[in-house]
Amino acid sequence: MSRARDSSKAAGEAIEAEILDLVPSLQNVSDRDAKWHDARVDGLFEPSERIIFGSTLLLEDGLPIEIKAAQRRLNSGQRGRFYIRQRQHERLLEESAAYLFAVYEPRDQTVIAMLAVPASIVDELLPDGWTSVDADRSEVGYRQLAWSRLLDPKNVEGSQ
């Protein structure tokens, strides 16, 4: 595994841990219990100052949630992207589950915006076709989704 891959995995895990701290109605789900989602709704999961909802007002207790994180801006200056894995996405669709997307500031790994969206809505937003993945990954395919397709850049970046 490359150093960059290790670094991106560690950053993803750090952001996931921060989200679980910020959202008390999410309960962590270990990889031993399920590899296709990170958390379950435990209690009332509702919009807040930090969490915007996509198309649903409340997420029901026990609902599986996959947490995805993207950097606000990459080193190249482009907006970050969420990587949607094909097998995982298909399972989320089967289970009528949801995503919790988070945009974070890479310098200090602070979450600056979150959006909860049912997987079925995400399916409508994804570009056509699954992209092949390098041989060092076990995934069949993935799609990239810029965070600006889901969240208004003015709300995330302000006047920057």
pLDDT in 10s for each residue of the chain, 160 residues:
444 445 667 777 889 999 999 888 999 999 889 889 999 999 888 777 777 777 666 788 999 999 999 999 999 999 999 999 999 999 999 999 999 999 999 888 889 999 999 999 999 988 888 887 665 555 578 899 999 999 999 888 874 5
> 40 with 98: CB under 8 angstroms?
no
How do the domains of the chain map onto residue ranges?
3-151
Helix (H) or strand (E) holding 85: strand 81-85
Helix, strand, coil tally for the chain in percent (to 5) = 30, 30, 40
Q: How far apart, in whole angstroms, are the C-alpha atoms of residue 153 and residue 159?
A: 9
Residues paired with residue 51 on neighbouring β-strands, in sequence order = 114
Q: How far apart, in whole angstroms, are the C-alpha atoms of residue 81 and residue 151?
A: 12
> 110 with 103: CB under 8 angstroms?
no
Q: What is the CA radius of gyration of the chain?
A: 15
Q: How far apart, in whole angstroms, are the C-alpha atoms of residue 41 and residue 63?
A: 5
Helix (H) or strand (E) holding 33: none
Nearest residue to 85 via CA among 100, 72, 66:
66
Report the pLDDT value the prediction gives residue 111, as an integer from 0 to 100. Answer: 92
For the 3-151 domain, the top CATH level (class) is alpha beta
Q: How far is CA 28 from CA 35, 57, 80, in A?
A: 12, 22, 24
